[in-house]
Amino acid sequence: MYLPRALISKLYLHLVNTRHPLSPPVLILVALEPDALCACRILTRLFKHDYIPHKIQPVAGYADLERAGRDLVAPMMDSRGGPGGVVVCLGVGGMTDLSSVLGLESDDEGDNQQQSPAFGGVEVWVVDAHRPWNLGNVFGGFPLEPEAESATTLAARTPVGVRAGCIERAYRPGKGGIVVFDDGDIEDELGKERDAYLALVDMPEVEDDGEDLGDSEDDDDDNDDEESDIGEPPSIVEPSRAGQKRKSWDFLEEDSEEEDGDRPRQRRRSNSSTPIPDSPQRPAQRGLLSLRDDAIFSSDALEPPTAAQPSRAPSARTLRRKLLRLRRKNEAILRDYYGLGASYSEPVSSMMYSLASELGREDNDLLWLAIVGVTSMELYGRSSAGIAVPVRGSEARAASGWMGLRGARIRQLLRDEVRRLNPPEIGNGRVLPENTGIIPTTARSPEDTSIRLSPEPKFLLIRHWSLYDSMLHSPYLFSRLKTWSETGLKRLHKLLAKMGVSLVQCKQSYAHMDMMLKRELRTKLLKYASLYNLDELVPTIDTDGKDRGGAKDGWGFVRSWGWRATLSAQDVGVVIGALLEVGKNATASLASSSSSSTSASASASDPSSSSTTGPPLSQDLSTTAAESESASAEWIPRFWEAYDALEDIEALKAGLPTAQYLHRAIFTTGTTVLKKKQISHLRAFRMCVVRDSPDAALFHHPGALTKLALWIGEALAEQEREASGGRLAHGGRGTPLVVASLDEKRGVYVVVGTGGGGGPDTAFRDREAARKRAAEREEKARGREEARKVKEKLKEEKRAAKRRLREEAGKDGDEVEEEEEEETESEESEEEDDDDESDMEEEEDDAARGRGYGLNRFGTAFQDVVAETNARVRIDSFEHCVVEVKKEDLGGFLESLSMKAVVG
């Protein structure tokens, strides 16, 4: 079931009102990513304010999630002697069936039909930005009411206050279940999927042998006489019972024998509305498979006979074919939804700040955590098109943000909150430095902890690096100036020379640069940026330094901690990400271990020539369980380092060298890949393998490898733009890219796929393109109307001339009228055919760019390859575009993957 955005505080207020000293602590499961980490900090602040005990458990992947369900969640169930309670999933579980993974299903007790109740009083709150949703969590995931004669269907046994999976104000929490926090997308976009899902749940079971049902139901009606001797099955008259045994429809086959209308029965889980995944490795697609295996039907799926219909009941064959046709139609709707591709919606930290705002608890600390979480989404390329390279261009400037118009709207709301909670200084009459284009690097006073808006350029860690290093390690300049090459470095030096900044000055710390240079930096960047295709290098600002309308599009966020430090939200996001991916004290160890891994990888054989022989996926998973535990044991301590750094400015400053070390490695490795042209062109995407790099050990973590892939992908997109005269390939969506890094110690390749889905500007560009197409259609319609009037006038003149000729030939009036009508009908038919053909072409063009256009489909493609080949692959990350492949199987895996559609 899902909680609408308007009721976001309902469950929290109930939790506060029902807490007592003996209540069990709330369990918080947190993904190892900056956005979820910030959301966890916001939620724990709320819990501490309301004296709610809680326990935090970091979760690295699906294996960790299953382990947490077995060790921590299952003992909470009252059916197993526990007290019940609340589990909060932040950035975890939105794409998998949580009732199965966490072990919250009912327990069957043999043939006596006794079942322990599902969920056992455990209520799971799911706040996740990953899409697509697992529809079992969204429209199911609630304990059923006791069955009665008048309540046998799923809708009748739904708890009070839940309608079609939606929680209403009358809902009373406390009985357990799975609650998905809706950011608005479920109610706005999943109406068709909701109807299909609920229809499948309430249909009787019927065996689908794959027969061709055709496109028409006339065949069924024609066979009624042949099948009239078969009686109507009991399950049509008596609705099936949700959560209980159900009658089989196998006896509807013509050659089957009836034995009192009863057949061997199958047992069903009590939470039957939830799709059960095969394993945590196939969470999204298994939702459809479980519906095919476990769905039950009710008599609501059939239309009752009316007075207009014949009194004779339809044959069993007719009913079976109608059910199969309806079932396949609904399954196709769910299959299309799960096959759209991976994407992201509103950040988890933004949702938690909305909860705090609804409770009236917002302050600067919570606002800053939300800003850092939202900013971190951009650093990892998480957009409404999945993990994708941002497509930059002047035509998309109005939709600045990682999610197009929606991202721009969220950032504007955050800017409004900054102004509300940090009013400007009044009375001194001076203009603030940031409003004149100067980047703030110090606080206004020793006690200053305010948040400010700043015209941040697209440089990296500029306050904590030199200007030269900050520009050199910027992904924006890396792609636009091509700083991986000698020519690109000369271009950077020439830009600095034109700005009047010497290399000696720009290589000293930015904080200690000459004040006059810092004052004039923005003006000089604006003056020369257009010469180097750097139009988006700095955000706009009014010439008089005033903020007209309060927009400040593209401006960043800066916070001070007195004289101790001043950091931007991007700085904090970069440091927190580096602590999660590298670790605070891992710099020296990585540097020492990189040499050994480099020599080992150099002696390894080329993976592209490997065969695809090996055990199936299940065997591979069993052998890598210990490796999974060791990896999570290494990553989870980093979570606590990053968790502490969010509220300890000294720990945050201590993490700056780690962030600089990571991004130096990304720059060096990306430069090597591009210089040596280690990128292969495959059928559906481009591919590169990180090898022979002194920093290869850094990229065993999926987050660090994703950042590297985004750097390389943006450089490739810019190369394609220049080669094609300013237009991107793949329909303007960039280039899909697969990057693999060898973990020699474990003998696996970590593989990440970044889709060319268009990144932050996809939604805006698609909407603008649709608007242009609509205007073009309107213009064509006007042109056709004018042409039609001209043709009609010419035709009228021709008809008048023909009429005169016929009259002169001696034909009577009736014959003349009949000939004119035939000619008119023929001409109108030809015009209608032309118009229909033109409209059909336009509709097909709109459909091609409709829902799912440009999304990252690497996750679905990876799962298909696993199902079709013997490659030993492990899909454990919550990012489904990240997999681990055995070293010997990479070649065959990539060969099969190259035949898949990886971008919608």
Bigger pLDDT: 585 vs 825? 585
Cα gap 588→493, rounded to integer Å: 32
Per-residue model confidence as pLDDT tens digits over 471-510: 999 988 998 899 988 999 999 999 999 988 888 888 888 8
Mean pLDDT of 668-680: 91
pLDDT-derived band of residue 609, with 50, 70 and 90 as boundaries? very low
| H or E stretch covering 433 | none
* pLDDT value for 904: 63
The pair phi, psi for residue 57, each rounded to 5°, is: -130, 105
Residue 333: C-alpha distances to residues 2, 131, 135, 339 (Å): 20, 16, 12, 10
Helix (H) / strand (E) element for 386: namely strand 386-387
Residue 805: is its pLDDT beyond 90?
Answer: no
Which of the residue ranges 14-18, 526-530, 601-605 would you say has the lowest mean pLDDT? 601-605
Give the residue ranges of DSSP H helices in 140-251.
185-189, 191-201, 218-222, 224-227, 234-237
Q: Between the CA of residue 597 and those of 44, 593, 743, 762, what are the distances in Å? A: 40, 6, 8, 40
The pLDDT, as a whole number, for residue 666 is 94
Which of 373, 366, 303, 317 is closest to 344 using CA atoms? 373
Which one, of 126, 70, 66, lies nearest residue 95 by Cα? 126
Residue 514: how many CB atoms within 10 A of its CB? 11
pLDDT score recorded for residue 729? 52
pLDDT in tens, 11-51: 999 999 998 888 899 999 999 999 999 999 999 999 999 99
Q: Is the pLDDT of residue 783 over 90?
A: no
Only one residue has tokens 């649709």, namely: 770
| Region of poorest pLDDT, from 204-213, 756-765, 866-875 | 756-765
Burial (CB count <10 Å: 0-12, 13-18, 19+), residue 149: exposed
Average pLDDT in the chain = 76
Give the number of other Cβ atoms within 10 Å of residue 657's Cβ.
Answer: 14
pLDDT at 871 > cutoff 70:
yes
Give 773-802 as a DSSP string.
HHHHHHHHHHHHHHHHHHHHHHHHHHHHHH
Q: How confident is the model at residue 293 (pLDDT cuts 50, 70, 90)?
A: very low
Type of residue numbered 664: R
With both helix axes pointing from N to C terminus, report the angle between 34-49 and 364-379 in degrees, rounded to the nearest 10.
160
Cα–Cα dist 168/164, whole Å: 10
**Cβ atoms within 10 Å of 280's Cβ, excluding its own:** 23
**Do 109 and 896 touch, CB atoms closer than 8 A?**
no
* Most distant CA atoms of the chain, gap in Å: 109
Fold of the CATH domain 2-183: Rossmann fold (3.40.50)
- Residue 34: which H helix or E strand, with range? helix 34-49
Four-residue CA torsion sign, 107, 113, 118, 120 = negative
Which residue would you say has higher pLDDT here, 295 or 372? 372
- Contacts (Cβ under 8 Å, ≥6 apart) of 464: 571, 656, 660
So what's the pLDDT on residue 230?
35
Q: List the domain boundaries for the chain.
A: 2-183, 218-343, 348-568, 575-757+856-897, 761-848
Tokens of 115: 């079942």
What is the C-alpha separation between 38 and 164, in angstroms, rounded?
Answer: 32
| Confidence check: pLDDT of 607 > 50 | no
Are residues 892 and 612 in contact, defined by beta-carbon separation less than 8 angstroms? Answer: yes
Q: Residue 901: its pLDDT value, please?
A: 78
CB contact at 8 A, 755 and 384? no
Q: What is the strand order of the sheet 686-690 is part of? A: 679-681, 686-690, 737-743, 748-754, 882-886, 873-874
More confident residue, 237 or 904: 904
Burial profile 215-225: b = 16 or more Cβ within 10 angstroms, e = fewer: eeeeebeeeee
Give CA–CA dist 811/805, Å, rounded.
9
876, 63 Cβ separation under 8 angstroms: yes
Ranking 143-147, 280-284, 325-329, 499-503 by mean pLDDT, the lowest is 280-284
Other beta carbons within 10 angstroms of residue 834's beta carbon come to 11
Query: Smallest Cα–Cα separation from 753: which of 712, 692, 720?
Result: 712
Cis peptide before 657 (omega within 30 of 0): no
Residue 421 pLDDT > 90: yes
Task: Round to whole Å and give the CA distance between 644 and 580.
Answer: 12
For residue 557, which of 418, 388, 389 has the smallest C-alpha distance? Answer: 418
- 386 confidence band (pLDDT: 50, 70, 90): confident
- pLDDT tier at 370 (50, 70, 90 boundaries)? very high
pLDDT, mean of residues 857-880: 87
**Exposed / middle / buried, residue 123 (Cβ in 10 Å: 0-12, 13-18, 19+):** buried
How far apart, in whole angstroms, are the C-alpha atoms of residue 508 and residue 513?
7
CA distance 323 to 625: 43
**Which residues lie closer than 8 Å to 159 by C-beta, 6 or more apart?**
142, 143, 145, 171, 172, 175, 177
H-only helix segments in 676-812: 702-723, 729-732, 762-809
Separation of alpha carbons 291 and 560, rounded Å: 53
* 643-654 pLDDT, tens digit each: 999 999 999 999
Q: Which residue has the higher pLDDT, 505 or 818?
A: 505
Name the strand (E) or helix (H) holding 25: none
pLDDT in tens, 149-186: 566 666 677 888 888 889 999 999 888 899 999 998 89
User: Cα 712 to chain center, whole Å?
Assistant: 22
